[in-house]
Amino acid sequence: MSHSVTRHTVGGPAEPGDSGLPVPGGATRSGPPRVARRRRPSPTARRQRRAAFLFLAPACVMVAIYVVWPIISTVRLSFFNWDGMTDPSFVGLANYIELFHTPTFYTALKNNLIWLLLFLLAPPMGLAVALYLNQAVAGIRIVKSLFFAPFVLSGVVVGLIFSWFYDPTFGLLAMILGHGVPVLGDPRYATLGIVFAALWPQTAYCMILYLTGLTSLNAEQIEAARMEGARGWSMLWHVILPQLRPTTFMAIVVTVIGALRSFDLISVMTGGGPFESSTVLAYYMYDQAIKYYRIGYSAAVAVVLFAIMLVYIVYHLRRMLRTEQ
């Protein structure tokens, strides 16, 4: 009696054709099994990648020149003492140490916080105006244009308008109250008066953002919510606002950046006064660089301001991404 023996490899049963074993048809194949080759991209795919790179390259170069390089240069300059004319001298962290020991810095930081808290009223106010204007009635386009007009005005014009409005002698506020109130001349009210003036164009901008977002709402979801009995605040909170989340994120980011880099209204209305009570970091940076020729010190102020912006925006961006996931 004869017995047939089947040879197994260490890793498992032998495959036909491995190590010289016969394969169907009587042929033998030696050596390790073939590894599937990686498919090369087609000529069309290569052309598409090349076109995408060519379209993106100019934008990347512009961002590198006008965004990345100025940030790096500002950070580097903050470690030097430079008046803009003589050779800069390296001082290390001296500019930052002086900055954190200057009372004006904390006054500016406090005013920036006030700006940030009050300026965030612009998105909800813009949403309220957008909801009111989001209706198909005769003449609504003219009304929308009137509400959007403040955003078209420059900051200098807005500052002059509200300077006349607050004037304690012949201003409209004095006529309404019956007596003059030195809003811009009182350290207690100066910052609040400037923020109130800045809310006028910022609310108009947020209104436009929300009007654009309202046009892209899912009509099927709204109709289904109505059939379920959703009305008023319930419809707004559970159906409309979730769909407007990207618009809300954009409105908050733009508003925060506007609050932290506020400069033009302060320059026109108070010049940082009275007694530096209305100055903010952006105006303090300008003041040190232009009036006192302390370029390195103002660069340190700019780095601190940029860090505050970056932390706040990254925080909101992560929150939005986590909510969407």
Q: Of the ranges 11-15, 263-267, 282-286, which one carries the lowest mean pLDDT score?
A: 11-15
Confidence of residue 136 (pLDDT cuts 50, 70, 90): confident
User: Residue 34: is its pLDDT beyond 70?
Assistant: no
Residue that finishes a domain, picked among 55, 90, 125: 90
**Burial (CB count within 10 angstroms: exposed 0-12, middle 13-18, buried 19+), residue 175:** exposed
Looking at the fold, whether 86 and 116 belong to one and the same domain comes out as: no
Residue 6: inside a domain: no
Looking at the fold, whether 53 and 130 belong to one and the same domain comes out as: no
Contacts of 202 (CB under 8 A, 6+ apart): 119, 122, 126, 151, 255, 258
Looking at the fold, whether 170 and 287 belong to one and the same domain comes out as: yes
Please compute the mean of the pLDDT values over residues 219-228 and round it to a whole number: 80
Give the helix ranges, DSSP H, for 68-189: 69-77, 94-100, 103-119, 122-133, 140-152, 155-166, 172-177
Residue 259: inside a domain: yes
Q: Label residues 100-123 b or e (16+ Cβ within 10 Å = b).
A: eeeeebebbbebbebbbebbbbbb
d(CA 270, CA 155): 13
Please compute the mean of the pLDDT values over residues 296-320 and round it to a whole number: 89
The percent of residues in the chain predicted with pLDDT above 70, rounded, is 88
d(CA 215, CA 320): 21
pLDDT score recorded for residue 193: 94
pLDDT score recorded for residue 237: 83
Looking at the fold, whether 66 and 172 belong to one and the same domain comes out as: no
pLDDT score recorded for residue 309: 87
Residue that finishes a domain, picked among 90, 119, 150: 90
Confidence of residue 122 (pLDDT cuts 50, 70, 90): very high
Render pLDDT for 227-269 as a digit per residue (tens, 0 to 9).
877 777 888 888 888 889 889 988 998 998 889 888 999 999 9
Q: Which domain, by its residues, includes 227?
A: 103-324
Please compute the mean of the pLDDT values over residues 52-56 and round it to a whole number: 90
pLDDT score recorded for residue 32: 56
The secondary structure of 62-102, three-state, reads HHHHHHHHHHHHHHHHCCEECCCCCCCEECCCHHHHHHHCC
Alpha-carbon torsion, ordered 178, 181, 183, 187, to 10 deg: -160
Residue 86: inside a domain: yes
| Cis upstream peptide for 274 (omega within 30°) | yes
Looking at the fold, whether 111 and 51 belong to one and the same domain comes out as: no
User: Residue 6: is its pLDDT beyond 50?
Assistant: no
Residue 39: inside a domain: no
Looking at the fold, whether 69 and 159 belong to one and the same domain comes out as: no
d(CA 43, CA 47): 6
Please provide the average confidence, as pLDDT, over all residues in the chain.
84
Sole residue written with tokens 């309404």: 176
Confidence of residue 84 (pLDDT cuts 50, 70, 90): confident
d(CA 288, CA 285): 5
d(CA 168, CA 177): 10
List the beta bridge partners of residue 9.
12
At how many degrees (to 10) do helices 245-260 and 103-119 cross?
150
pLDDT score recorded for residue 101: 95
pLDDT score recorded for residue 146: 85
Question: Which has more confidence, 126 or 20?
Answer: 126
Looking at the fold, whether 82 and 225 belong to one and the same domain comes out as: no
Residue 135 Ramachandran class (φ > 0 left, ψ -120 to 50 alpha, else beta):
beta
Please compute the mean of the pLDDT values over residues 87-113 and round it to a whole number: 94
Render pLDDT for 165-184 as a digit per residue (tens, 0 to 9).
999 988 899 899 888 889 99
pLDDT score recorded for residue 149: 86
Please compute the mean of the pLDDT values over residues 283-294 and round it to a whole number: 93
Looking at the fold, whether 76 and 135 belong to one and the same domain comes out as: no
pLDDT score recorded for residue 79: 96
d(CA 174, CA 33): 92
Does the global pTM surpass 0.95? no
d(CA 263, CA 257): 12
User: Residue 71: is its pLDDT beyond 80?
Assistant: yes
Residue 2: inside a domain: no
